Amino acid sequence: MDWGFDYLKYDNCYIPFDNLTQVNEVGRFQKMADAIAAVAGRTGTAPFWYSLCEWGWQQPWIWGVTMAQSWRIDGDIKPYWPNIAAIIDQASFQYWGSDFYGHNDYDIMEVGNTGQGVPPGNLTYEEAKTHFTAWALFKSPLIIGTDLTNATDETIEILSIKDLIKINQDPHIGKSISPFDWGVNPDYVSNSTHPAEYWSGNSSYGVVFMILNSQDTPATMFWQLINSWAVRAGRQYNVYDMWSHTHNGTAVRNMTLELPAHGVAALLLTDAGPEPPAEYPWCAVDNHCSYRNGTYAIHNGQLPTT
């Protein structure tokens, strides 16, 4: 049997009365999953990708993986920065729902839809880059939502960034990146205008960092590497920029870069051996760091000189 398609988005519109279905959302989606599995088993064909769409109403990031490969976590996306920022903010609390066999779906991408629609989309080039970067590193399905026959060179450039697609399609690691510092907003507090700005995660190719400037003006972004769980203490790292495709030297303990308004950096760090012996004190964290004699070295982000 040939299905004739390899992807099914099963929507939640026009929900029947409960006195007819008596199964709630989980039960309705499970019925379709059972039907897909039954036909695949009877015909010996591989089942297609099953995508749930109930807009996060009943926490599909908890149960979606029991029956499907992806699930929407929010309402319909729109081609405006406030909407993209709000989805990134939600991702900072639901990132853990994505793994190798199932993925949070942050909705179809709006890259390339500037000037289209009613009212027309207004994402800037930097915002579109941030949008694509986040979706790729969140391990969301990368579904193109624009007319490629009329796509600009900038749109094609963004949608063709192989370094980011490679992370999204990592054959061994399916987990999303996660935030380790919120930046403008207090840590672990939701803010749809200023979502978490400092994200990291692991990949088959190295440690991944996404740095986001949520502000409306250019900003200097500074962070300590060791604040990311994926970084090893006492090591230095080679830095590869996944947007410029350039190798940008070696990072020791912290990094600083400049980003435009709503801009993004996507970095891949690989181990470059022990950090230089001159680094002092012997641990890079701010709290509970001690000297060899056992006394605390409290430096508040600034490494003291020897």
Task: Choose, from 6, 34, 74, 76, the residue flagged as catalytic.
Answer: 76
3-state secondary structure 222-287: EEEHHHCCCCCCCEEEEEEECCCCEEEEEEECEEEEEECCCCEEEEEEEEEEECCCCCCCCCCCCC
H helices, E strands: number in the chain: 7, 12
How far is CA 241 from each of CA 11, 180, 191, 208, 257, rounded to the nearest angstrom?
38, 20, 28, 10, 12
Tell me, yes or no, if 170 is annotated catalytic.
Answer: no
Could you tell me where the beta strands, DSSP code E, fall in 101-174?
A: 103-105
Tell me, yes or no, if 11 is annotated catalytic.
Answer: yes
Backbone angle region of 127, left / alpha / beta, with phi > 0 → left and psi within -120 to 50 → alpha: alpha
Task: Choose, from 11, 34, 147, 187, the residue flagged as catalytic.
Answer: 11
Q: What is the dihedral of CA 39, 40, 44, 46, to 10 degrees?
A: 150
In a 13 Å sphere around the CA of 127, the CA atoms on its Cβ side amount to 21
Write out the catalytic residue numbers: 11, 76
